[in-house]
Structure 1
Amino acid sequence: MRVADERQVDDERQSWPREHLDAVLLEHPALDNPARFDPFELESVMLNLDASLRIRARHQFFAWTQGTLQGLVEHQLLICALHNDAPARFHVDSFSTVPVEPTHFSELFRQDTFLVPHLVKSWEENHSQVVNCEAASGGQFAGSALARELTRLGASHIVAHGTHDASGQLTSFFTFACRPGSIGPRQAYYVELLVPFLHAAWVRTQVNWQAKSAGARPAATGFLTPREREILEWIYRGKSNIEVGMILKISPLTAKNHVQKILRKLGVLNRTQAVGKALALRILTT
């Protein structure tokens, strides 16, 4: 290492709390390198952390995890599990922009007795370190319906991480299902960095739901026309404007105009946000 580089590293380290520096270098020896983050990576990380702090509702969480967060950790499906004392053990919610039924995967996660226990046990036995594994439906996970569905989806590579309380008990667990070969050590580190923010953001959406549950209102669907709701359903299933046009026997331009009206009425910027908000408002059901 050049003298100039050594001075730069020393200057950076002096600005860090001593205990934080020791922990980072112990857990991540590769980070004892002046090129920790290039400017683009640092900007992307900061954008994601900032976005997480603004989340108050489920559709916002959906838009973040299936939008900006994909730039750091590309995934096909995100399964969020919050530990509780109920018999089901976990409150589970799933998020994806691919044409799958997220509630189906949530239920498979709750019922799984092969893959999920393995992930949680590996996380606990390795002192709460990120779990990286291949969940192809053969081998030790042959009996897992969840593993079979993830394999069918083409997302059999699992990166999982959680949070724990002061007594060391599991609080929440986040499972990223990714395409094989799409996750390396850098992405695993992003997961470790971001999961505390994922936990805080997702818990805030739960608090909002609980506050609203006593006075829950029926879905506010009246401001979308029947045709717009129909197109929104196809957007949710991952169809493009051209595909929507072919299905409904309208031109792609007409389909695009309908999509733009849907975005304006929902007060969102893109199709992903539209789906997230429509789910939150119960215009769409999973």
Structure 2
Amino acid sequence: MKRDALVILSKLEQEYLLHAIEAALPVQERRQFFLWSQGPLQALLPHQMMVCMQFGSGDVLQHIDALHSVVLDGDLLRRICHPHDGLAVRLARAARQTQLLPVWNEAGGLAARTPLDGFADELLALGLENFVLHGNGRTAGQDTVFLLFNLPQRPSARHAYFFSLLLPTLHLTLLRLNQRQAQEGRLERPVSAREREILHWVREGKSNDEIGLILGISGLTVKNHLQRLYRLLGVSNRAHAIARGMALQLFEQPPAPLGRAA
């Protein structure tokens, strides 16, 4: 199916679309957003993983989060969602630079010949053969991009059209959640210098043992610091801790080096 082919929604698809839009209106928390992505969104766009990104002026990544229905290996999640060189971030920037929105991979490769063809081998190596990407383009600094990975079948222009219809809902919902998170950014206590330093190295993809070697402490001590940090930030894993740290602007300045002590 070509990009410009006429897409006519069936009555059932129209009902799914209306339900998805209405169900997103009361979403105020990330848990609700996750449940929405696993329910109403799946009816039109079934997928295993959705990566949500927000970019500010100068194409600076302000937020990245992954919602997934399956347990993912930590290294795979890092390779997809790393804020510096993750596959999702590179795909989003490439698509935004070339204004290829939406973009998806059909049977035999990406839809049409595009500068994103160079990602085909990497997508295949990571087991992410089917994806569709959409975003609101470049604005004054509140740009969002969404990536759906591992659709059960090769995406087509029909999937891209559904995505276009739902994009305003996705965009406004993500901005609303991020704004609320920023407003509720007051923590019970400040993040300590040690915790900031450890979170910095977590963002760089280092393991607990590797961070311990860098800081001159044990991997167990790093784990204990991380557990306290998770409780403080209200998160449950490394990826969410990085996303929360970005929302709280904990990475704006590199952490000051500490002495080699716990």
TM-score, normalising length from structure 1?
0.53
SS, match of residue 203 in structure 1: helix
Q: How does 1:191-202 map to 2 (within 5 A)?
A: 191-202=163-174
Deviations along 1:49-92, one digit per CA (max 9) or x if unpaired, are: 11121111111110001222111101111001111369963421
Tell me what 2:133 maps to. 160
Local SS of the residue matching 1:99: coil
1:122 aligns with 2:95: yes
For 1:64, the aligned partner's letter is: W
1:129 is matched by which residue type in structure 2? L
State the match for 2:259 in structure 1.
none
Question: Which 5+ residue runs of structure 1 have no aligned equivalent?
Answer: 1-26, 218-278
3-state secondary structure, aligned to 1:37: coil
In structure 2, the partner of 1:74 is: 46
Query: RMSD of the TM alignment (CA)?
Result: 3.5
What is the aligned partner in structure 1 of residue 153 from structure 2? 181
Q: Is 2:88–2:147's contact at 8 Å kept on the other side of the alignment?
A: no
Give unmatched runs, 5+ long, in structure 2: 111-116, 190-230, 239-262
> Once the two structures are superposed, what CA deviation does each residue of 1:166-212 show, in whole Å capped at 9, x if it has no partner?
46x78111111024634222211111111221111111111221122
Post-superposition offset of 1:46: 0.1
**8 Å CA contact retained: 1:93, 1:103:** no
The count of residues paired between Structure 1 and Structure 2 equals 184
Note the alpha carbon deviations across 1:94-139, whole angstroms, 9 max, x for none: 001111158962663323376743553335424x53111258xxx8
| Post-superposition offset of 1:282 | 4.0
Aligned equivalents of 2:142, 2:186: Cα separation in 1: 29
2:66 aligned partner? 94
> Match for 2:47: what amino acid?
H
Map of 1:40 onto structure 2: 12
Matches within 5 A, 1:1-286: 28-31=4-7, 36-84=8-56, 89-100=61-72, 105=77, 108-109=80-81, 110-112=83-85, 116-126=89-99, 128-133=100-105, 134=109, 140-141=118-119, 144=122, 148-149=125-126, 151=127, 155-166=128-139, 171-179=143-151, 181-216=153-188, 282=234, 284-285=236-237
Decide which structure has greater helix share. 1
Is the Cα–Cα contact under 8 Å of residues 51 and 88 in structure 2 kept in the other structure?
A: no
Whole-Å separation in 2 of the counterparts to 1:208 and 1:62: 16
- Give a deviation string over 1:130-154, Cα, whole Å, max 9, x none: 111258xxx833885x7633x1xxx
Give the TM-score taking structure 2 as reference length: 0.58
